[in-house]
């Protein structure tokens, strides 16, 4: 039995390492002066911070509302901010990131210090860039540099909170605290315990936790 527990914890540790590495790459790779983005033709493009901001702010004048979560609007600007990494994201993904971040903030979840430090460096880089100035932002986007930074950093902060969410789920599942703390997840937890594929089972537990959290949010997708 102890061997099974050790193996499960080792698998969970690997999962968290993969999540952390993926999140750090996603939040830092596209906020450097030599970012590589995949264009519509499949070619890599090197973008400066100013060029990245141009991409993220391209719909700032009249952003299409993609969804609302408890009245908060998720717009095309948010989608552009996520898509700067070269991947195609869905509205459901953006809704999930928003809900987890909002829930985490309200419940005092602490983000990993390494991620917080990384995000701070990104902010400082944008704030001190020679091209992405407040004057440029006011002229091109009609908003201040600080507002551009706030919009641009939402994704990294939401992704960081998502890592915290995954860690909390993993810790509660492995410790056996899950069904005690969340009786509504007892059935999902039993399925996890019986599953031979712990990677897949942990993904399903994450989904179950998210569905539980999302029940308190009014989501409308347009």
Buried b (16+ CB within 10 A) or exposed e, 20-56: beebbebbbebbbeebebeeeeeeeeebbbbbbbebb
- What pLDDT is attached to residue 71? 95
Q: Mean pLDDT, the chain, as a whole number?
A: 86
- What pLDDT is attached to residue 34? 45
Mean pLDDT in residue range 14-23: 50
How far is residue 181's CA from residue 127's CA, in Å, rounded to a whole number?
43
Model pLDDT for residues 69-92, shown as the tens digit of each residue? 999 999 999 999 999 888 889 999
Model pLDDT for residues 141-182, shown as the tens digit of each residue? 999 999 999 999 999 999 999 999 999 999 999 999 999 999
Any idea which of 29-38, 79-88, 122-131, 150-159 has the lowest mean pLDDT? 29-38
How far is residue 125's CA from residue 54's CA, in Å, rounded to a whole number?
16
């Amino acid at each position: 039995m102890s061997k099974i527990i050790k193996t499960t914890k080792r698998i969970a540790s690997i999962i968290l390492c993969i999540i952390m590495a993926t999140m750090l790459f996603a939040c830092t790779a596209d906020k450097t002066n030599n970012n590589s983005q995949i264009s519509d033709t499949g070619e890599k493009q090197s973008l400066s911070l100013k060029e990245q901001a141009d991409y993220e702010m391209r719909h700032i004048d009249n952003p299409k509302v993609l969804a609302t979560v408890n009245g908060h609007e998720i717009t095309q600007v948010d989608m552009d901010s996520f898509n700067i990494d070269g991947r195609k994201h869905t509205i459901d993904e953006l809704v999930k990131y928003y809900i987890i971040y909002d829930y985490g903030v309200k419940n005092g979840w602490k983000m990993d210090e390494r991620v917080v430090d990384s995000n701070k460096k990104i902010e400082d880089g944008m704030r001190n860039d020679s091209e992405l100035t407040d004057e440029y932002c006011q002229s091109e986007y009609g908003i201040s540099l600080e507002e551009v930074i706030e919009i641009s950093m939402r994704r990294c902060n939401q992704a960081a909170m998502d890592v915290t969410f995954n860690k909390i789920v993993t810790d509660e599942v492995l410790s056996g605290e899950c069904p005690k703390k969340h009786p509504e997840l007892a059935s999902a937890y039993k399925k996890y315990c019986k599953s031979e594929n712990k990677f897949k089972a942990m993904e399903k537990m994450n989904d179950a936790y998210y569905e539980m959290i999302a029940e308190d949010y009014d989501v409308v997708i347009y």
